[in-house]
Structure 1
């Protein structure tokens, strides 16, 4: 079973492509997401060819912090995955439909183990400044995130928010221009384990680039993290997790190669 984060792991916005080579040597790209009539997310054509091969050999599970609506905009090459994990584990999709029993289990746990979304949202709004805040959103009634002008963020603001959230059972993650506040019990790893249980998977592989992917990487039998992103920049390392040299869209291609290589060895 392969559980992989999407944004800045397998798919990339224009700003995240990191095409540092000469233009004539840049890889051909395939657009996999349109938003408001404009191309938004890409992968290399080579990666687009590798993904259907991976899906044919493994249980491939897209695993994202995106809401269900945001996930549904993505058109990955190959057949639609039977399982997908959205909202950082808050929703488990089976053939595109929410598993309501799973969602109820998650929401019960959040109610028992951490501060309420209302409390956290109220604090977020009280400590933000209109000069650098662009959007404030609630995702699936599970967590909150801000879209900010990152260059204008006060020094130490994210650290202070993290410390405040820690004591209330929440995690803060800075990813590009987005700052996520997510309940600690809301994890991708729990949903990954549930899919592994249902499918009988004996080996779990994972990939991700952000703090919200750390639990997923630690729960898998082996994981990969690209050379960019929150985890790489912070110096995060773990046993059974390989830090790749590749950055940007090239890392997405390499991650798919590693998934296929490891999966093929098991099959043999």
Structure 2
């Protein structure tokens, strides 16, 4: 069976701040508020595709954040959360996978701790500094590009990556890429054919290890030398993606 690895936020689901039209379905409630949605077309199409594809969510969300998402369709047999550091099997964390993730990033531990120290001293940081499941560092900054640049100047970039996504700032160890997690899971599944989709720099590494990837057109410049990526434009990305996958069947 072909595997479909997909990011979630801004790939399949969207914040209430994002305009995706009137025909939409709530998929996440937080503190009594509806905060994330799918278009009805994407929801129906994904439900149909899951009968023919093994759908594996791949997200930087924490386990708690992932568990808030209720797609209203059958639970994926596998999901990769915390940027692939945690594998869920039928909704339950795989302890061996997590321990192996920690082992793989052990060399970067000192840099992660230094990253936290630098962020706590950064006056532009406007959120708590989190060491997510001892896997990567996360916070928010009023001037994320400046915060990220300061981190890049001080940290060993052979051991960690620094990412910005709007106000969010991440320090992520090498070896915790989504592509690494997808490759690890591919070995377990022993599946030769896979596709991937995503909208951000976090997602490029997994597109690089599958047969074909799908991304919005505005990611083309950052995609660089990643091969076999098809860029989609002209509407809500999730709908364009579903149309493309349906046509490919």
Q: TM-score, normalised by structure 1?
A: 0.84
Moved more, 160-169 or 212-221: 160-169
Separation of aligned partners in 2, 1:36 and 1:154: 27
Query: Structure 1 residues 256 and 185 mapped into 2: Cα distance closer, same or farther (>3 Å)?
Result: same
- Per-residue CA deviation, residues 73-129 of structure 1 (Å, 9 max, x unaligned), is 001132000000000011011011111111111111111356343222112222x21
Higher fraction of helix? 1
Decide which of 21, 30, 35 is 2:30's aligned counterpart: 35
- Per-residue CA deviation, residues 208-256 of structure 1 (Å, 9 max, x unaligned), is 122211211111110011235xx45746463201121146xx1012112
Q: Does 1:251 align with 2:245?
A: no
Matches within 5 A, 1:203-214: 203-214=193-204
Q: Which residue of 1 aligns with 2:246?
A: 260
Unpaired runs of 5+ residues, structure 2, are: none
Q: Which residue of 2 aligns with 1:140?
A: 133
Q: TM-score, normalised by structure 2?
A: 0.90
Structure having greater relative contact order (Cα 8 Å, sep ≥ 6): 1
Separation of aligned partners in 2, 1:173 and 1:67: 17
CA shift for structure 1 position 42: 0.9
Q: Which residue of 2 aligns with 1:22?
A: none
Matches within 5 A, 1:96-175: 96-112=91-107, 115-126=110-121, 128-129=122-123, 133-149=126-142, 153=143, 156-167=146-157, 169-175=159-165
Query: Structure 1 residues 243 and 166 mapped into 2: Cα distance closer, same or farther (>3 Å)?
Result: farther
Separation of aligned partners in 1, 2:244 and 2:49: 10
Confirm or deny: 8 A CA contact 1:50 1:256 kept in the other structure. Answer: yes
Q: Does 1:91 align with 2:86?
A: yes
Decide which of 226, 238, 244 is 1:238's aligned counterpart: 226
Query: Structure 1 residues 147 and 156 mapped into 2: Cα distance closer, same or farther (>3 Å)?
Result: closer
Separation of aligned partners in 1, 2:208 and 2:77: 24
Number of residue pairs the alignment of both structures matches: 247
Separation of aligned partners in 1, 2:94 and 2:144: 41
Separation of aligned partners in 1, 2:96 and 2:44: 35
Q: Which residue of 1 aligns with 2:53?
A: 58
Confirm or deny: 8 A CA contact 2:112 2:171 kept in the other structure. Answer: no
Separation of aligned partners in 2, 1:33 and 1:233: 31
